[in-house]
Amino acid sequence: MVRVPLAFLTCAAFAAAQSHPSWWTYSSPGATALVGIEWQSVRTSPFADPIEGELWGDLGFPDLPCLHKARQFVVSSPEFLALANGIFASSAMRDQAAKKGFKAMTYRGIDMWFSTEKGVLSLARLTDQLVMIGEPKTLQEAVDRSMDDARNYSPLLARAAAFNQKDLWVVSSRLPDDLASRFVPLDIESERFEGFVSVRNGLELDAVLSAGSEQQAIASAGKLRQAIPTFPAIARGLQVTVEDDSVRLALEATREQVIVALRGPEPVPAPVETIKVETPSHVEYVPVEKPDPPKPVVIEKPQVIRILGLDEGPREIVLPPAVKPANN
């Protein structure tokens, strides 16, 4: 599975002053990590394939057309619960889920569809604009919370609020983290991590991770700088700086640079053998024309004619095998 390297930046004071969409509050209240994806922007970017492979592959999103057309996702863990914002008409979801073999049920007035396929998550349609994705028990607990006026909210939401308009963001209480590390594949330990990536006009990555002390920040920054040459080509321009007890990461690339980096190097053409031809006026190198290699032949099995009813008993006549080109 191909991973997407991310780096992020935010300011806690700024984040606390921002607001976020109300539907984010349905995230798991005990989340240690939140990941937000502006899917309607990301799905038309060069990063669509790896992120789609993560969501509908390893994370187990149901392969329903309405989810592929969602506007946004917010994913929380370790109690894995994903929120999808978009247009989810009841009849369309019912038909799509039925085609995939989901079992339909209603829980406290909420339409739910339970997956029968291993590794695929289930669904709860909270409203025409909001669907929850998770294991059946997790979904039922989320529905219960949604009907409790005194429900708790994840403290990570305040930090994530600053990224409301970003294409992809990650807020985590620590690194490594099972969810956050899927989108931030950095081999480093951190007390907290938060930031965003924008992909609409190329690539903009900004991040800050807390190392706990200035000495640890310096050590972590040095480890990251040493690892940069091993990163994918698009991430080798990553800038790493130390700010007190934190490490700041930043990266920018044009859309053309992103496309070239993701496409990979062009295939090397096979060498052409030439001969040197000299005339009184110039020297020229002429390609050597080589005959096509002979086509392999296929020798068919010999045919045997068996004659019965003769006085001397059955008689077999073996015909010589036929030889013909392999492509005939």
Q: Which of 70, 68, 72, 67 lies closest to 169 in space, CA to CA?
A: 72
Alpha carbon distance 77, 148 (integer Å): 21
Give me the residues paired with residue 8 across strands: 206
Q: What is the pTM of this model?
A: 0.73
DSSP 133-187: EE-HHHHHHHHHHHT-TT----THHHHHGGGTTSSEEEEESSBS-TTHHHH----
The residues of the chain scoring below 70 in pLDDT are: 1-18, 262-274, 276-277, 280-286, 288-290, 292-302, 304, 308-309, 311, 320-328
User: Closest by alpha carbon to 180, among 169, 191, 190, 172?
Assistant: 172
pLDDT of residue 324: 59
Rounded-to-integer distance, Cα 288 and Cα 270, Å: 14
Convert the pLDDT of each residue in 82-118 to its tens digit. Answer: 999 999 999 999 999 999 999 999 999 999 999 999 9
| Whole-number average pLDDT of the chain | 84
| Residue from 125, 83, 80, 118 nearest 101 by CA | 118
pLDDT at res. 115: 94
- For residue range 162-183, list pLDDT tens digits in order: 999 899 999 999 999 999 999 9
- Closest listed residue to residue 130, CA positions, set 75, 72, 181: 72
**What pLDDT, on a 0 to 100 scale, did the predictor assign at position 92?**
94
